[in-house]
Amino acid sequence: MMDNSVGFSEPNPHSACGHHVLGDDCRFCSIRRLSICSALDQEELSFLEGMSGDSVFEEKSTLFREEDESISVYNVTSGVVRLVRSLPDGRRQITGFALPGDFLGLALQKQWKFSAEAVTDVKACRFKRSTFDDFSEQKPHLMKRMHEFATHELSLAQDHMVLLGRLTAEEKIASFLMVMKRRWTRVEGHELGLIRLPMGRQDIADYLGLTIETVSRVINQMQRDRRLVIVPDGIRFIDAAYFEQHAIA
């Protein structure tokens, strides 16, 4: 719908990295097509832009904590965020990684139910929750879009439950790599030879319900078996068919 000319990955007039600098001009937002904003027309976009501001979070910083009140909601525009649930004794489960285009704040509640931590430097479009809620209350198609996002998340959550409850370590890793490949391809707009893994091994472990040692062992075994090569910032598939076969969902 409407202006679809935003798919460029060349640098645009507004930023050096090829991604939009927010609070700036939604028309040049390279991840708009992926985001909740794609439900909006030009006028609504302008209005929303007026009430947005941009946030920058540096690597390892915290966007918000589980126990915090959710004063703002965010649209990630660049970088990667890990969504974390922690137990009192320090065990943690990463419930997801937010990539550009992902929205944080779907729940219409005052309190966050998870922490969000910047895995890399992160840019996000920020809205005051109360203003955003009022706006979505008046825009049924925005509410619908948020609902679609929520039910999509729910379906992903169910995939993840299958992974956590029923897959072996090898299947977990293979599935994770396939998912990351698919997601990056969608975000970048085209397939890269490389599968970016900006998160550390410990994060992968906490996402898959494994230990760091097991993640390391399995990935390195896959390399020894010539299924993939480990490269800086990620991995590269050698035997794509192997992953197609072992990844579930």
Partner DNA sequence: GCCCTCCTTTGATTTGCATCAATGCTGTCG
Partner DNA sequence: CGACAGCATTGATGCAAATCAAAGGAGGGC
User: Which residues of this protein are in contact with a second copy, per CB under 8 A?
Assistant: 85, 87, 91-93, 95, 106-109, 113-114, 137, 140, 143-144, 146-148, 150-155, 157-162, 164-166, 206, 208-209, 248
Binding of residue 220 to DNA (CB under 7 A): yes
Of 58, 191, 213, 239, the one binding DNA by CB under 7 A? 213
202 interface partner picked from DNA, a second copy, none, CB below 5 to 8 A per type: DNA
92 interface partner picked from DNA, a second copy, none, CB below 5 to 8 A per type: a second copy
Binding of residue 62 to DNA (CB under 7 A): no
**From residue 187 to residue 206, what is the string marking binding to DNA with x (rule CB under 7 A)?**
-------------xxx----
Instruction: Report the DSSP pairing between strands 103-104 and 72-78.
Output: antiparallel
Q: Using the minimum distance from each CB to DNA, give the nearer residue, 137 or 225.
A: 225
Residues, the chain: 249
200 interface partner picked from DNA, a second copy, none, CB below 5 to 8 A per type: DNA
Of 37, 219, 222, 247, the one binding DNA by CB under 7 A? 219
Query: 59, 118 in Cβ contact below 8 A?
Result: yes
70 interface partner picked from DNA, a second copy, none, CB below 5 to 8 A per type: none
Q: Using the minimum distance from each CB to a second copy, give the nearer residue, 112 or 237.
A: 112
Instruction: Please say whether the dihedral angle defined by the alpha carbons of residues 98, 100, 101 and 106, taken in this order, is positive or negative.
Output: positive
Q: Cite the beta strand spans of the chain per DSSP E.
A: 52-57, 62-64, 72-78, 81-86, 92-98, 103-104, 115-118, 122-128, 194-196, 228-231, 234-237
Of 159, 209, 242, 248, the one binding DNA by CB under 7 A? 209
71 interface partner picked from DNA, a second copy, none, CB below 5 to 8 A per type: none
Q: What is the 3-state secondary structure (H, E, C) of 6-58?
A: CCCCCCECCECCCCCCCCCCHHHCCCHHHCHHHHCCHHHHHHHHHCEEEEEEC
CA distances from 157 to 4, 83, 129, 161, 207 (A): 30, 12, 24, 6, 12
